């Protein structure tokens, strides 16, 4: 009897294994494409120049292959861009897209067997030595491509210098403020059918905005062809960009900031409660050779005149005295800031 029970149990176990394998479905797995960093065009460049990176794909894929390029030493996102047109670079990755705030998305097109992209070093005003830029390239998002072998890209970037004047005017800042909301309501009298206006309780509300979206500062140098009136934040004057600049001859030059516009975009029934300062920092440089900065925390306020409204938005914020081609910079009070 025990022998019969043992045979029946063995049969049941065998049947269960048979049923588990009784599946005619064929499972196929597409191997991931292997992407190799095939060539880096330069081992050393000067600020403002680009390096071209060539990727090869062993098995072209029917969809875009997504990778992230991230600088791991030598600087940060402000020191480079990615894209084959330096004037129109790719968008940087953000925390919101899940890739983190430091880096750029590199996308190999569908069915491509090779792809090239540029890493563009950003020309700045800073006085600095040669830097080694180091990047890593990693697969991300759809994960259909894998880096084959080395994923590190390195090259040296030497400091760019010339004798042109450079200026950077910055005012990015999150400002929290209060405003009055007047609740004026239009109603209809039930008896007469006529419209009438009554005032409900007013409200004091608050909001926070980046001053880049509220304030428009411009900057120019009196007596020189150096200016920026673009509406950008920051306003930037440097060799090779659209804003004009030049070599300053010996002499004295006033640097003038213009509060062109201030707009919190209030509705007609809204108004600012109180006031707040509009701080800014101005950097003055001879590109790559001399650099200094002055911060003004409260030279302008939310109630200050603007040039777009009254024509009274200009203030002298610095004076640059040039002797023998060398700069001496003073603030708006005539105090020495820096000397070349």
Segments making up each domain of the chain, as ranges: 33-158, 165-173+212-339
Reply yes or no on domain 33-158 having CATH 3.30.450.20: no
- The 3-state secondary structure of the chain reads CHHHHHHHHHHHHHHHHHHHCCCCCCCCCCCCEEEEEEEECCCEEECCCEEEEEEEECCCCCCCEEEEEEEEECCCHHHEEECCCCCCCCCECCCCCCCCCCCEEEEECCCCCEEEEEEEECCCCCCCCCEEEEEEEEECCCCCEEECCCCEEEEEEECCCCCEEEEEEECCCEEEEEEEECCEEEEECCCCCCEEEEECCCEEEEEEEEHHHCEEEEEEECCCCCEECCCCCCEEECCCCCCCCCECCCEEEEEEEEEEEECCCCCCCEEEECCCECCEEEEEEECCCEEEEEEECCCCECCCCCCCCCCCCEEEEEEEEEECCEEEEEECCCCEEEEC
What pTM does this model have?
Answer: 0.80
pLDDT in tens, 91-126: 888 877 777 778 998 999 999 999 999 999 999 999
Across the chain, which has 340 residues, the per-10-residue mean pLDDT values are 45 45 54 91 96 95 91 91 85 79 88 95 94 93 82 96 97 97 76 72 92 98 97 95 95 98 94 97 97 98 96 97 98 97
pLDDT in tens, 283-303: 999 999 999 999 999 999 999
């Amino acid at each position: 009897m025990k022998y019969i029970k043992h045979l029946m149990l063995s049969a049941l176990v065998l049947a269960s294994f048979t049923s588990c394998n009784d599946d005619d479905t064929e499972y196929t797995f597409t191997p991931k494409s292997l992407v190799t960093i095939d060539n880096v065009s330069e081992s050393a460049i000067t600020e403002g120049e680009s390096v071209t990176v060539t990727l090869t794909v062993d098995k072209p894929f029917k969809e875009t292959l997504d990778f992230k390029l991230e600088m791991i030493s030598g600087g940060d996102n402000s020191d480079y861009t990615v894209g084959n047109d330096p004037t129109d670079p790719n968008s940087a990755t953000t925390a919101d897209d899940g890739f983190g705030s430091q880096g750029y998305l590199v996308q190999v097109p569908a069915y491509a067997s090779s792809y090239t992209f540029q890493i563009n070093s950003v020309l700045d005003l800073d006085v600095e030595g040669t830097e080694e830029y180091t990047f890593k390239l990693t697969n991300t998002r759809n994960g259909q491509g894998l880096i084959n072998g080395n994923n590190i890209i390195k090259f040296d970037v030497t400091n760019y210098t010339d004798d042109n004047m450079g200026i950077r005017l910055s005012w990015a800042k999150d400002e929290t403020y209060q405003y009055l909301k007047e609740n004026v309501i239009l109603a209809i009298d039930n008896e007469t059918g006529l419209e009438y206006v009554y005032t409900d309780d007013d409200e004091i509300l608050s909001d926070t905005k980046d001053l880049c979206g509220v304030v428009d500062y411009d900057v120019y140098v009196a007596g020189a062809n150096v200016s920026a009136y673009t509406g950008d934040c920051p306003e930037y004057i440097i060799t090779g960009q659209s804003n004009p600049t030049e070599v300053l001859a010996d002499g004295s030059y006033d640097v003038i900031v213009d509060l062109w516009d201030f707009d919190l975009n209030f509705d007609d029934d809204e108004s600012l409660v109180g006031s707040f300062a509009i701080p800014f920092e101005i950097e003055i440089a001879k590109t790559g050779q001399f650099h200094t900065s002055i911060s003004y925390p409260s030279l302008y306020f939310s109630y200050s005149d603007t040039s777009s409204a009254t024509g009274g938005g200009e203030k002298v914020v610095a004076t640059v005295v040039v002797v023998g081609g060398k700069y001496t910079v003073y603030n708006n009070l005539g105090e020495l800031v820096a000397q070349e």
